[in-house]
């Protein structure tokens, strides 16, 4: 049955051209980030004051920044930073949201009421402004950014996992496991959670796109990844300061963020449609 479901999933996924396009974009970004030392034509932090704000050319296909650094090289290295932030932050959010959602959905009653009221309180705060406030207090660093984004992005996962657990906890296979003496932890992690992972997988894929977008926004505002570490967001900051004379500093990183977020969104929607045939267009 598992093999048959896997084959059905693969066929439905491959028939969705937009999902395949999204997976190609994501795979390309992975390759670029992993092979950055070989793909990047220059050291991303090498300063060349003779080529300050040089326009795109054969030697510098994406031009240079105000310090003469090659923009293409910085964008290639910045891809790894963006993916690292996206995956670590989303992993933290998924871990917290899955545990809390599982406890709320499985036990119900006071556990459900307590956890969901906490979720409601967290949802009252504008997430981005909460991140801004915390980052402004802490020292801006890539690790602080990943942790803060993860700690402020678990509420939607909690609600989703809770709904799945409520729907699954009275199924026959759960009742059978309980009848043979299985403990709560075994039922939660061995029987119910694997059946709820499809929704979690889709949420995680879409969450990576959101985390990358948040990191880029924070770096653009100057409280994210700090120079000289390359980031698409801080390249955009240089573009903002030189928009009249260096259009390439805004165009290329902006397109990179757009294509990356689009790729993850297309991949997530493709996985969702393939896992649930009723959602196919």
Which pair of structure tokens corresponds to residue 27?
């795979």
For residue 64, the 8-state DSSP code is B
178 phi/psi in degrees, rounded to 5: -65, -35
Domain residue ranges in the chain: 7-33+69-279
Q: Residue 123: which of 87, 95, 91, 97 has the closest Cα?
A: 97
**Is 0.75 topped by the overall pTM?**
yes
- 233 and 216 Cβ atoms separated by less than 8 Å: yes
Give me the pLDDT at residue 1, please.
43
Q: Give percent of the chain with pLDDT exceeding 90.
A: 35
Give me the pLDDT at residue 96, please.
94
Largest CA distance in the chain: 76
List of the chain residues with pLDDT < 50: 1, 280-281
Give me the pLDDT at residue 3, please.
58
183 phi/psi in degrees, rounded to 5: -80, 170
Summarised one tens digit per residue, pLDDT across range 245-269 is 889 999 999 999 999 999 999 998 8
Q: Where are the alpha helices (DSSP H) in the chain?
A: 2-15, 17-34, 36-39, 71-107, 109-124, 127-137, 142-151, 155-168, 172-179, 184-186, 193-221, 232-241, 248-275
Cβ atoms < 10 Å from Cβ of 129: 9
Query: CA torsion sign, 155 to 157 to 159 to 165?
Result: negative
- 135 and 145 Cβ atoms separated by less than 8 Å: yes
Average pLDDT over the chain reads 87
Summarised one tens digit per residue, pLDDT across range 156-212 is 999 999 998 988 887 888 888 888 877 788 888 888 888 888 888 888 988 998 899
CA atoms within 13 A on the CB side of 165: 26
CATH architecture of 7-33+69-279: Orthogonal Bundle (1.10)
Give me the pLDDT at residue 277, please.
53
């Amino acid at each position: 049955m598992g093999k048959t479901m896997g084959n059905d999933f693969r066929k439905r996924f491959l028939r969705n051209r937009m999902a395949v396009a999204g997976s190609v974009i994501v795979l390309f970004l992975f390759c670029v980030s992993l092979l950055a030392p070989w793909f990047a034509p220059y050291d991303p932090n090498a300063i060349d004051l003779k080529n300050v704000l040089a326009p795109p050319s054969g030697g510098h296909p994406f031009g240079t920044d105000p310090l003469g650094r090659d923009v293409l090289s910085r964008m290639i290295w910045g891809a790894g930073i963006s993916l690292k932030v996206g995956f670590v932050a989303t992993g933290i959010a998924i871990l917290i949201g899955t545990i809390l959602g599982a406890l709320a959905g499985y036990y119900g009653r006071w556990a459900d009421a307590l956890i969901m009221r906490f979720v409601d309180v967290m949802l009252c705060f504008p997430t981005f402004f909460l991140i801004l406030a915390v980052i402004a207090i802490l020292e801006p660093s890539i690790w602080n950014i990943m942790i803060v984004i993860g700690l402020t992005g678990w509420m939607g996962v909690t609600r989703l996992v809770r709904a799945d657990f409520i729907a699954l906890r009275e199924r026959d296979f759960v009742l059978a496991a309980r009848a043979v003496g299985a403990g709560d932890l075994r039922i939660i992690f061995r029987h119910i959670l694997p059946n709820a992972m499809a929704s979690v997988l889709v949420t995680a894929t879409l969450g990576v796109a959101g985390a990358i977008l948040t990191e880029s926004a924070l770096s653009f505002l100057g409280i994210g990844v700090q120079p000289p570490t390359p980031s698409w967001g801080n390249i955009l900051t240089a573009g903002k300061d030189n928009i009249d004379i260096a259009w390439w500093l805004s165009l290329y990183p902006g397109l990179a963020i757009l294509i990356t977020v689009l790729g993850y969104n297309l991949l997530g929607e493709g996985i969702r449609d393939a896992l649930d045939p009723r959602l196919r267009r």
